[in-house]
Structure formats: C-alpha cells, structure tokens
Structure 1
Amino acid sequence: MTSAAQQTERIRPRRVHETPGLEDWRVVGEGACAYFRTETFAAGAAFVGELAGLADEGVAGDGGPDVDLRPGGVLVRLITVTGDYYGLTERHLELARRISALARARGLAADPSGVRTVQVTLDALALPEVLPFWRALLGYENRAGSDEDLIDPLRRGAPFYFQRMDAPRSGRNRIHVDVWVPYDEAEARIAAALAAGGRIVNGADAPSNWVLADPEGNEACVGVAGPPEA
C-alpha cells in the first residue's frame, strides 16, 4: 500500500505514460487527461456520478478530478493545484486506474484524440509590467512556482504564458498559440496543419515541440509532454 507521503510525491509526465494500466491517459500541458466517449448525455452524467463517488470515498484527494461533461463524451483531468505546486503526484497513478476501471465497467472506450490543451503565449520585454495587465483583464492567477504563467482559477480558460524577450524584434508575431497534444497524436495533427496550408518553421526540438506557421506567417507550436521511451 502506498503511504500518504508517497501519494504526494511529485512525478514527471513520462511516469504516467510508462506505467502499465494507464493506456487511456495522456499528459498534455494541463495534467493527465482521458477522454471517454459516450452515446448519450445521460450515460456521461451517470459516469460522472461515479467519479464523484471516488471523492466521497477519499480516493480522489485535493478536490477530485476536473470533469468536462458533454453530450458525446467525458473529459477527465488529474492535476494537483496548491500554493506551491501545479502538476502531477504519485496518487494520480492509482486514481487514473480507478477511473479507467469505472469506464470499462460501463463499456466506455477512451479516445486519446479527444485530449488537448491550448495555451496562449505572449512575448514581452518587461514581464513585471505586462503580466499584471493580463492578470487583471482575465481574472486569472499566477501559477504556483512560476512568475511567467497565468491560469484560470476555475480551470476552464486557456492558460497564458509570458516568454521573455531580450530585445525588440520585427517580422514575427509576438502572440502565438501553443497546442499540447498526446504524444501519439502529434504526427497526425502536424500533417493536417501542413495539408491545410501551414509550414514547419522550426523542428529542432522534435519530437517534443514543433513551430508551425500559417500561410501568412502567424506562428503556433505543437507540444508533447513526456512521451514514453521508444
């Protein structure tokens, strides 16, 4: 049995992807996620009711999983958000197994293609001056352990990341979108973007990150969190 201290041990994304029994789950920019398809809204609601039961049993810990219920499926996200940490812990491994078991018992299949995170990135010369404006405008909060990230306290809106620039630059946009996708979905997502008129600007950090641009040069990044070893 895992001790309480072990359950709060911080883990890296790769740990989720390399743990047997967690094949339903993918780590993207905002925690470990699984998307379970449902045929009806009622079926999804019943599944969510069982997830609430995990919290009632004390299994879920710190508030339980984030759940997005839609007519076609249920997205479940596991992440610890505290005053000093924003990420995954050891306890999420067992919780993910329990959630997958509940889904299987209801005949719900996981679909990794339904998992993604979108983040807005702004380049700025003076972060201490720029970031407070966006924090006030959005009603966001600083992410624990970072003075460069803002997150929605309700965990619904896209996070904002502020990238430091050393000097002004021209010829490139200073705001771009980061799209975090499952490690096994990145190739197909990039191929679709290229087929739709995009191009790869920089692939030096592949297979963890690619910089793409649309036909007018507006940039976006495709990121992958902790893929398992080949």
Structure 2
Amino acid sequence: MDTESDGAVGAGDVTRAVDPRHWRVLLRWVQGAFRTPDLATGAAFAARVAVEAERVGSHPDITLRPDLVQVRATAPDARGIGAADVALALAVSAVADDMGLPGAPERLTSQEVAIDALDIPAVAPFWRAVLGYVPEPGTDPDDPALADPWALGPGYWFQQMDAPRPQRNRIHLDVTVPHDQAEARVAAALAAGGTLLSADRAPAFWVLADPEGNEACVCTWQARGED
C-alpha cells in the first residue's frame, strides 16, 4: 500500500484495502456503517470498535444510533487517511462479522458548505466565530477551510468570486447554541467583522451578516413559547 509524502494513504489504495461491504472513502475520511438490531447491540459493537482503535492507534469518531453504528477515521496530521485507519477498518469488519452485523454503506454521507466571497480573508473570520469552528489543519490562513473542532458538523470552505452579486444572498444559516453561550457567540461574530442586522427576536435568535452580507442566525430555545 502506497503512502503519500504527507503520511496519508491514497484513496484508491484505501478503497482496495478495506471491505466494500462496510467501508467507503468520503473526502479525507474512511467511513463504515453497520446495521444493528437494537441500541444495546450497537453499544456493545461500539465498545469493541474502541478497543480495536486503541490497539492500532487510530482515533475514530463513532456514532451510535438505535439501528446503526457509523465509524469514521482520519489522520489530521497527515490531512487524510493513515495506515492506522486502514488497520482499524479491517479490524472492525472482522468484529462485525463475528457479531453478525451487516454493512450499510448506502447510509454514509459527508457534507461541506461552500460560501462565495470576494474578500475571503475578511469573510472567513466571521464564519469561524459564528460557527465556533477552527481552521482545518494545513489550509491557507488567508483561505482557510473551517472544521468543527468536535467533528460533528459539516466542513466549510470559501469559493473566490470575481464579481459582486447584487441580489439578496441565497444562503442563510441557523446556528443553534446553548442559551448561556449565545451572547458570547454573537459578540465573537461581531468582533470578527460581522454586523448585527436584528435582535428583535432575541434570545430566540439574533440575525447577523458577514462583511459581504451573507446571513446567519445565532439561535437558542428561549423565547419560543416553550419556556
């Protein structure tokens, strides 16, 4: 199996190495999905995945649902899939077979959100602040891809525009946070170059805009008639 200069294993090599009943390469992750008959079985499977991860030195995300366990692994330092992640995929497939759990690769997905911008260095800090994200390791500080530090939300990146679009923006994101974190999140977004468009419905939501007018709401459960 070939290893690229940055320590990552090529996507083609990963695809050939892992069990196609369970695993697929999506972006810089190798991801597997496994059907489970109930939550208890899924939890037992996830525990065995954790043991294998410790053994091979991989650091996967494990998502447990009542009928499905998803495992995804990457090597952030290598900006891709590492040899330990491939070893984990092979080991987890063996565990699934031992427990009689079928694969469900059709349920795998990965999302990214692209934001068009004329001035990426001016726009990116707003989105980093309002989302609570961090720059993805290895990306250009002036043109960063943004990643959820807890690996739960989709990735964000910025697409360079060559001319302004005078029509109203065509994307509006709602970012829901714990109610006691909302004002700090709004303040961080404003400090990063954002504009407060409306606080009329706060603390249900604050409407903000980045320096080019793309909008985001910081939202909470409060003041929605559910107090």
TM-score, normalised on structure 1? 0.66
- SS in structure 2 at match of 1:108: coil
Q: Name structure 2 gaps, 5 residues minimum.
A: 173-227
- Tell me if 1:138 matches 2:131: yes
The change in CA–CA distance for 1:97 and 1:77 in structure 2 (over 3 A counts) is same
Q: Are 1:17 and 1:23, in contact at CA under 8 Å, matched by a contact in 2?
A: no
Counterparts of 2:13 and 2:38 in 1: how far apart (Å)?
Answer: 33
Instruction: Quote how far apart the aligned CAs of 1:35 are.
Output: 0.5
Deviates further, 167-176 or 142-151? 167-176
Partner of 2:74: 79
Please report the RMSD computed on the Cα atoms of aligned residues, expressed in angstroms.
2.6
Q: Quick check: 1:60 aligned with 2:61? A: no
Q: Deviations over 1:11-32 (max 9, x none)?
A: 2222211226454211113501
Residue identity over aligned pairs, in percent, reads 38
User: How many angstroms does 1:173 deviate by?
Assistant: 6.5
Aligned equivalent of 1:128: 121
Structure ranking higher in strand proportion: 1
Please give the secondary structure, in 1, of the residue aligned with 2:154. coil
- Specify the SS of the correspondent of 1:87: coil
Cα distance, 1:90 vs. partner? 2.2
1:88 correspondence with 2:81: yes
Quickly say closer, same or farther: Cα 1:174–1:117, change in 2 above 3 A: same
Instruction: Say which structure, 1 or 2, has more relative contact order (CA 8 Å, 6+ apart).
Output: 1
Q: Within 2, Cα distance between the matches of 1:111 and 1:117?
A: 15
In the TM superposition, what whole-angstrom CA distance separates every residue of 1:155-200 from its partner, at most 9, and x where no partner exists?
Answer: 0011111111122246796659xxxxxxxxxxxxxxxxxxxxxxxx
Unaligned 5+ runs, structure 1: 177-230
What SS does the corresponding residue of 1:11 show, helix, strand or coil?
coil
Residue among 145, 164, 167 paired with 1:168: 164
* 1: CA distance, partners of 2:133 / 2:18: 36
3-state DSSP of counterpart to 2:14: helix
* Cα distance change of structure 1 residues 87 and 173 upon mapping to structure 2, 3 Å threshold: farther
Q: What does 1:43-54 align with in structure 2 at a 5 Å threshold?
A: 43-54=41-52
Aligned AA for 1:65?
P
User: What is the CA-CA distance between 1:78 and the residue it aligns to?
Assistant: 1.0
1:118 is matched with which residue?
111
Distance 2:168 2:72 in 1: 34
Higher Cα radius of gyration: 2
Pick closer, same or farther for the CA change 1:26–1:170 going to 2, 3 Å: farther
Corresponding residue for residue 159 of structure 1: 155
Cα distance between partner residues in 1 of 2:135 and 2:13: 26
Partner-residue secondary structure (3-state), 2:44: helix
For this pair of structures, how many residues does the alignment match?
A: 168
Q: State yes or no: 1:98 paired with 2:85.
A: no
Q: CA deviation at 1:150?
A: 0.2
TM-score when scaled to structure 2? Answer: 0.66
Secondary structure of 2:130's aligned partner: helix
Superposed counterparts of 1:25-36, under 5 Å: 25-36=23-34
